[in-house]
Amino acid sequence: MKENAKKIFKIAGEAIGVAVLLFIVFYLGFSIGEANPKTISVVGVPEAAEQGKSKDINFSTFWETWDLIKGKHLKGGEVDNQKLYNGAISGLVNSLGDPYSVFLPPEDSQKFKEDVDGNFGGVGMEIETKDGKLLVVAPLKGTPAERAGVEAGDYILKINGEDASGLDTQTAVKKIRGEIGTKVTINFFRDSWKEPRDVSITRENIQVPTLESEMKGDIAYIKLMSFNENSIPLFYEAMVKSLFSGSKGLVLDLRNNPGGYLEVATRLAGWFVDNGKVVVSEQFRDGKKTDFPSTGNAALKDFPTVILVNKGSASASEILAGALRDLRGIKLVGEMTFGKGTVQQLESLSDGSTLKITVAKWVLPSGKTLEGNGLVPDVDVKITEEDAKNKYDRQLEKALEILKKEMEKQGK
């Protein structure tokens, strides 16, 4: 009996010992695992699973979703890991709700550089996403888009029959572009139309135009179509030529000008205001500001001037027009501008991709911000479809009328 009791106590003691040992092993394993979380390696995506950058976020749900896509989705075995990874980063950027912040995989970076350089294949129109919809900021002068009748403010509903809703700007641009000589069919809608319309446009090599000018009696008319490295010398040449021709006033046409380099805007402003005047300020998330002053000769400081704008006037053209109204009281004639007033910065990423990210907003001398607001013209003038059909520029005629009255006041 005593012998049996001893065996029972021995077995119980061994069981307790095993339980304690298992607890110790489990505790040590848990502690080690917590201190050294598992790193998942995904083939073809270097350092894809690096964690710990955001301590308040548990990335396990992301990897659970990844595994379910790869293991259960109908096309999970076909989809490329890198494509999944890039899609995840794009989704991260898109969650900002900012159409100007974009992730560009390596293969898209070259197309973006071509945009900046101003020489590329396509149909010749500047497009943006606004309120979740794709729309034309401006057709470029002399391009297939302009010849096809595309106008600033047209909505893009389909591209080659595919629904364009939800597309970001870069994806839409990729779909519109193609081999020179081929056609792309775009379904547009305009507020004045009852139904959307399909427009077939033949792609060409697009070179962004800069400036054209002419004399209208004793008034210089200068149409600036983009703010690029050629804008300053071409404006100088056109203005000097017009002054020698007896110009007594200027109509500066910024309609359908989608913008470009900020430096061009500040240097052009320097023709109209004293050197060192703040043209625009860059305001960051922490409230800090960087001022951008005018640089120039102020040769047109007292020169009667009127500026033409419309919904295709964006970014740098809005900055110049808004600043000259604030600093000089120059009248704006036409329609409300686009409302592009944020600053993007390009960040090169480790795998050759690029992140275009919004870092600040533009603030005019009056304190007005442009983003989402645009500039309301002093004199609102619409161009009707009948005007366009008859090639009658009602806005230009109104600008000339206003300018002549100002010239009379100054005795010119």
Give yes or no: residues 379 and 235 share one domain.
Answer: yes
**Residue 58 pLDDT class (50, 70, 90 cuts):** confident
Cα 357 from chain centroid?
Answer: 9
Which residue range forms the structural domain that includes residue 279?
Answer: 211-409
The pLDDT tens digits of the residues spanning 383-408 come to 988 888 888 999 999 999 999 999 99
Catalytic residue among 213, 315, 317, 404: 315
340 in active site = yes
Crossing angle of helices 169-176 and 106-117, rounded to 10°:
80
The pLDDT tens digits of the residues spanning 86-100 come to 899 999 998 998 888
In sequence order, what are the residues at sequence separation of 6 or more whose Cβ sits closer than 8 angstroms to the Cβ of residue 132?
165, 166
Number of domains in the chain: 3
Comparing C-alpha atoms, which of 341, 371, 344, 376 is closest to residue 359? 344
Give yes or no: residues 282 and 392 share one domain.
Answer: yes
289 in active site = no
**Residue 218 pLDDT class (50, 70, 90 cuts):** very high
User: Would residue 73 count as lying in a domain?
Assistant: no
Final residue belonging to a domain, choices 177, 207, 237: 207
Final residue belonging to a domain, choices 190, 207, 224: 207
Comparing C-alpha atoms, which of 329, 220, 334 is closest to residue 272? 329
**Residue 171 pLDDT class (50, 70, 90 cuts):** confident
What is the phi-psi region of residue 290: left when phi exceeds 0, alpha when psi lies from -120 to 50, beta otherwise? beta
Write the DSSP symbol of residue 179.
S
Q: What is the pLDDT of residue 115?
A: 56
**Residue 29 pLDDT class (50, 70, 90 cuts):** very low
Other Cβ atoms less than 10 A from the Cβ of 205: the count is: 11
Give yes or no: residues 139 and 173 share one domain.
Answer: yes
Is the Cβ–Cβ distance between 249 and 403 less than 8 Å?
yes
Q: What is the average pLDDT score of the chain?
A: 85
- Rounded to whole angstroms, how far apart are CA atoms 219 and 304? 10
Segment among 21-30, 132-141, 327-336 with least mean pLDDT: 21-30
Buried b (16+ CB within 10 A) or exposed e, 162-183: eebeebbbbbbbebbbeeeeee
* 209-230 mean pLDDT: 94
CATH number at residue 122: 2.30.42.10
**238 three-class SS:** helix
326 in active site = yes
Query: Is the pLDDT score of 166 beyond 60?
Result: yes
Q: What is the pLDDT of residue 310?
A: 95
Catalytic residue among 101, 108, 326, 404: 326
**Identity (one letter) of the amino acid at 126?**
E
Query: Is the pLDDT score of 192 beyond 70?
Result: yes
Q: Return the residue matching tokens 């109908």.
A: 74
User: Would residue 157 count as lying in a domain?
Assistant: yes
- Rounded to whole angstroms, how far apart are CA atoms 308 and 395? 7
The pLDDT tens digits of the residues spanning 247-289 come to 999 999 999 999 989 999 999 999 999 999 999 999 999 999 9
Give yes or no: residues 244 and 353 share one domain.
Answer: yes
Q: What is the pLDDT of residue 110?
A: 65
The pLDDT tens digits of the residues spanning 284-319 come to 999 999 999 999 899 999 999 999 999 999 999 999
DSSP element (H, E) containing 324: helix 316-328
Segment among 34-43, 83-92, 323-332 with least mean pLDDT: 34-43
Which range in 176-185, 201-210, 211-220 is most confidently predicted, on average pLDDT? 211-220
Give yes or no: residues 137 and 175 share one domain.
Answer: yes
- Rounded to whole angstroms, how far apart are CA atoms 164 and 207? 26
Q: Return the residue matching tokens 């050759």.
A: 352
Is the Cβ–Cβ distance between 245 and 272 less than 8 Å?
no
User: Would residue 175 count as lying in a domain?
Assistant: yes
Report the share of the chain in percent with pLDDT over 90: 59
Give yes or no: residues 177 and 239 share one domain.
Answer: no
Give yes or no: residues 267 and 399 share one domain.
Answer: yes
